[in-house]
């Protein structure tokens, strides 16, 4: 079952997941263990899987999360993949990795949405629904528009406090590697903010920037240098690899259950 609601550039999606078709073997993307293992335990994720064998997940973010990247990262990183962005591929991977469990995914956000707008949505969602795990992809819009890093930190800390009261686990997701973005924005202050907030109890950071830089540098997945005839295939591979990496990250602490 899928429920979709579109309003302007806002996207809200709730998906009750069923097992996907078996993925192809030999997926061409390296997944260093330190990048697919959380720095701290996902206590509420593990507890939910142990007690109910189910997990309610909220994925909140901007373009890459909802599948509408626009051109903020340059023309090469502009794509629309509704229902096929990395949270959906993560959901497929979770079911494949743990087929006996039930996973409920809700995706919210919009292209070019900053963290303050996401914080409002986060509070609304946590008031009206129960989640065990929140994935919050942010920092890219702030870097592109040169927004104040201290404001991002304040918003993330506010969100982390709200998530902790649920209680739920919070996984922050940093920007995706892009040569265009690196040349036109200073990511360092925003990466620093994400790392600082992730040092709080109950919060971890999924290092998407490091992972996608490894893939691009090694030529495994390099969307900015993919030929036009390989573009769609490369986008699909990128989302699939990110989804699988994130699924491994989420289940790392619950693997023994």
Tens-digit pLDDT profile for residues 106-133: 999 999 999 999 999 999 999 999 999 9
Q: Which two tokens stand for residue 127?
A: 């008031």
Answer yes or no: are the C-beta atoms of 241 and 223 closer than 8 Å: no
The more confident residue out of 137 and 5 is 137
Query: Which residue ranges make up each domain of the chain?
Result: 2-254
pTM of the model: 0.88
Residue 170 CB partners (closer than 8 Å, separation 6+):
134, 136, 159, 160, 163, 164, 202, 203, 204
Q: Which two tokens stand for residue 193?
A: 């903010």
pLDDT of the residue at 255: 63
pLDDT of the residue at 5: 34
CATH of domain 2-254: 3.40.50.1110
pLDDT of the residue at 45: 97
How many other β-carbons are positioned within 10 Å of the β-carbon of residue 196? 15
- Beta bridge pairs of residue 106: 14, 58
pLDDT of the residue at 80: 67
How many other β-carbons are positioned within 10 Å of the β-carbon of residue 61? 26
φ, ψ for residue 17, nearest 5 deg: -90, 145
Kindly state the average pLDDT of the residues 229-239.
90
Does the pLDDT value for residue 204 go beyond 50?
Answer: yes
């Amino acid at each position: 079952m899928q429920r979709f609601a579109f309003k302007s550039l806002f996207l809200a999606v709730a998906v009750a997941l069923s097992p996907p078709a078996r993925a192809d073997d030999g997926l061409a993307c390296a997944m260093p263990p330190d990048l697919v293992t959380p720095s701290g335990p996902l206590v509420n994720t593990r507890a939910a899987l142990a007690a109910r064998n189910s997990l309610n997940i909220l994925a909140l973010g901007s373009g890459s999360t909802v599948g509408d990247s626009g051109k903020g990262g340059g023309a090469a990183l502009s794509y629309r993949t509704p229902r096929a962005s990395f949270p959906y591929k993560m959901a497929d991977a979770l079911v494949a990795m743990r087929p006996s469990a039930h996973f409920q995914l809700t995706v919210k956000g919009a292209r070019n949405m900053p963290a303050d707008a996401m914080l409002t949505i986060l509070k609304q969602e946590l008031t009206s629904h129960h989640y065990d795990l929140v994935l919050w992809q942010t920092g890219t819009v702030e870097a592109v528009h040169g927004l104040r890093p201290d404001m991002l930190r304040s918003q993330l800390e506010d969100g982390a406090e709200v998530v902790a009261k649920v209680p739920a686990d919070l996984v922050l997701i940093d920007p995706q590697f892009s040569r265009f973005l690196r040349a036109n924005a200073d990511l360092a202050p925003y990466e620093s903010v994400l790392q600082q907030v992730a040092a709080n109890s109950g919060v971890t950071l999924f290092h998407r920037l490091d992972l996608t830089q490894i893939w691009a540098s090694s030529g495994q997945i390099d969307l900015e240098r993919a030929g036009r005839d390989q573009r769609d295939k490369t986008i699909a591979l990128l989302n699939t690899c990110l989804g699988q990496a994130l699924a491994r990250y989420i289940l790392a602490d619950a693997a023994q259950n």
